[in-house]
């Protein structure tokens, strides 16, 4: 019995020795274990958040002691402290969190605003224990390294679309002549072969052959019957006219050789031509006639309804229907437009010969910003070009002259492109709320890509990846990297420093040391990226 009492006394004395003073708590601080999630700090949306768990062992915490634990981030250039977490022993009558004598694991959230320089930092806990009038600093406990700022690699320039210049490298053209027939006849009169229409057609064929920019692709012979009389008879008449017209075409082109396929077509009743001629005429009741055509699709019903308008029909029979008893000769031509080299030369030597589309295309070819501005202003002045006005604003944005860009946009219509452009200006200025509103209104593909940039900056990586699904490019690869998919970043083909840096990050996460090295060598061509790599926690194990 006395031996048992002796052992108990030793245990009590041991505990008393362990917890007898703040100094003893400091001496035993090595028995405290600390964990952090994440183990490597990460900046998300400009914030650093982590969860720290501290385990105090049994018989460690003095029952009358108060412990102040201060989370501190130490980085190149300084340090930032949080307000301390306060803990107390079991016999302290205060409002701090109690740590029992049997020990406990305490979990706390830590939060810091990012400050430049924190990409190379560490988080530590600094503790001070107090008992009565005595206080002692415990050894600092390093909790985590950091901080990962990979999301800050996002390109914030924003995607901008120029208005389409509608410039055609090859312009489809036609040259046309026609022969007219007498009512119910398919015979071609000699006078028709000498008509002004045919002479103009022959001259056009000759000009096409002589013009190095024009290529005759094919010729169509299209025969018709006027839409009066029985439909079946008119179909047969149209067929006969197509045959006689083909023979006439041979005579017309005998001395004006056509080296292209000739296609022969019989249309039948020419209701389409009828409507066009009526619409272009001075007939008082032409709107009524056109309304009849829109109301009825059956040719017989159409003819009947029009003939019921006896006064109108007599005019139609005299002025309109004879023009529809015809065969058309149509030359289909491809005009080869100015090449890029020719456009640039004309800009220098004879810009006034260029139409609106040509000036807009030339503006995309010149490299100098001032030259682009000059061309867009020329198109605005000469053609009142809305496309040039918008593209001028885009040019100013790309040149980072936002005041001029806004001024140019004030003269544009507020369409999706306009809202996207305003959003890009706001994005570049750092006004993410305004940018998000503009992009939401625009709601086109470019605006969605730009909205994904805001998601990345806000730490909404999955939302960004969803918006960029199916998109190829730098920001899309970054978004995938941020949600754990390294493949798109590894597959970036661009050899620019930024893409190389992103490939290096992907390689580091894949454990590919050789790829890390080679890509960082390329990225180092950019001084800022070289400086970043030296501090980037992504490459900590490769330094």
pLDDT tens profile 334-349:
999 999 999 999 999 9
Domain boundary among 452, 473, 495: 452
Shared-domain flag, residues 312 and 415:
no
The pLDDT-based confidence of 289 (bands split at 50, 70, 90) is: confident
Task: Let me know if residue 305 belongs to a domain.
Answer: yes
pLDDT tens profile 158-183:
999 999 999 999 999 999 999 999 99
Task: Let me know: does 372 contact 395? Beta carbons within 8 Å.
Answer: yes
Residue 16 has pLDDT above 80, yes or no: no
pTM of the model: 0.79
* Alpha carbon distance 379, 312 (integer Å): 47
Higher pLDDT, 292 or 504: 504
Task: Let me know if residue 516 belongs to a domain.
Answer: no
Task: Let me know if residue 389 belongs to a domain.
Answer: yes
pLDDT of residue 150: 97
Phi/psi for 201 (5° steps) reads -65, -45
Rounded average pLDDT over 350-372: 96
* Alpha carbon distance 308, 34 (integer Å): 100
Domain that holds residue 326: 170-336
Q: Which two tokens stand for residue 404?
A: 């001029």
Shared-domain flag, residues 371 and 442:
yes
For the chain, state the CA radius of gyration. Answer: 42
Task: Let me know if residue 260 belongs to a domain.
Answer: yes
Shared-domain flag, residues 144 and 186:
no
CATH number at residue 140: 2.60.40
CATH number at residue 445: 1.25.40.10
Name the packing angle between helices 386-398 and 356-365 (round to 10°).
10
Phi/psi for 217 (5° steps) reads -85, -45
């Amino acid at each position: 019995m006395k031996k048992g009492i002796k052992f108990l006394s030793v245990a009590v004395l041991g505990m008393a020795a362990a917890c007898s003073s703040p100094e003893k708590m400091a001496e035993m601080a090595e028995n405290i274990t600390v964990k952090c999630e994440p183990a490597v700090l990460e900046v998300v949306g400009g914030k650093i958040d982590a969860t720290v768990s501290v385990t105090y062992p049994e018989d460690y915490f003095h029952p009358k002691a108060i412990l102040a634990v201060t989370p501190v981030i130490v980085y190149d250039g300084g340090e930032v402290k949080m307000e301390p977490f306060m803990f107390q022993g079991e016999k302290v009558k205060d409002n701090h969190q109690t740590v029992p004598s049997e020990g406990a694991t305490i979990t706390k959230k830590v939060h810091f605003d990012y400050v430049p320089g924190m990409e190379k930092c560490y988080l530590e806990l600094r503790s001070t224990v107090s008992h009565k009038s005595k206080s002692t600093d415990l050894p600092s406990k390093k909790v985590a390294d950091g901080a990962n700022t990979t999301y800050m690699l996002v390109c914030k320039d924003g995607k901008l679309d120029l208005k389409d210049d509608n410039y055609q490298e090859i312009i489809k053209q036609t040259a046309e002549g026609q022969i007219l027939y007498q009512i119910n006849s398919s015979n071609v009169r000699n006078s028709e072969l000498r008509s002004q229409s045919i002479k103009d057609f022959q001259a056009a064929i000759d000009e096409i052959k002589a013009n190095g920019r024009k290529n005759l692709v094919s010729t169509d012979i299209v025969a018709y019957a006027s839409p009066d009389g029985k439909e079946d008879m008119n179909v047969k008449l149209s067929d006969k006219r197509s045959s006689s017209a083909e023979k006439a075409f041979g005579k017309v082109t005998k001395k004006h050789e056509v080296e292209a396929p000739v296609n022969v077509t019989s249309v039948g009743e020419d209701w389409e031509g009828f409507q066009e001629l009526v619409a272009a005429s001075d007939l008082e009741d032409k709107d009524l006639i056109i309304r009849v055509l829109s109301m009825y699709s059956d040719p017989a019903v159409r003819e009947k309804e029009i003939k019921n308008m006896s006064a109108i029909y007599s005019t139609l029979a005299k002025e309109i229907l004879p023009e529809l008893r015809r065969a058309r000769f149509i030359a289909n031509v491809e005009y080869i437009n100015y090449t890029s080299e020719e456009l640039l030369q004309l800009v220098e030597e004879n810009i006034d010969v260029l139409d609106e589309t040509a000036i807009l295309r030339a503006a995309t070819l010149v490299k100098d910003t001032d030259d682009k501005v000059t061309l867009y202003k020329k198109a605005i002045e000469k053609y009142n070009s809305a496309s040039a006005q918008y593209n001028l604003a885009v040019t100013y944005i790309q040149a980072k002259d936002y005041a001029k860009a806004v001024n140019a946009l004030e003269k544009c219509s507020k369409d999706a492109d306009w809202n996207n452009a305003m959003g890009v200006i706001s994005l570049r200025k750092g006004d993410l709320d305004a940018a998000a509103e503009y992009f939401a209104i625009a709601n086109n593909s470019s605006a969605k890509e730009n909205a994904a940039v805001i998601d990345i900056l806000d730490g909404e990586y999955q939302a960004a990846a969803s918006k960029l699904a199916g998109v190829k490019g730098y920001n899309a690869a970054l978004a995938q990297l941020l949600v754990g998919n390294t493949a798109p970043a590894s597959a970036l083909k661009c050899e620019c420093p930024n893409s190389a840096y992103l490939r290096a990050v992907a390689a580091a996460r894949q454990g590919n040391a050789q790829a890390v090295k080679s890509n960082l060598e390329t990225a180092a061509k950019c001084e800022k990226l070289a400086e970043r790599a030296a501090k980037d926690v992504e490459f900590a194990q490769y330094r």
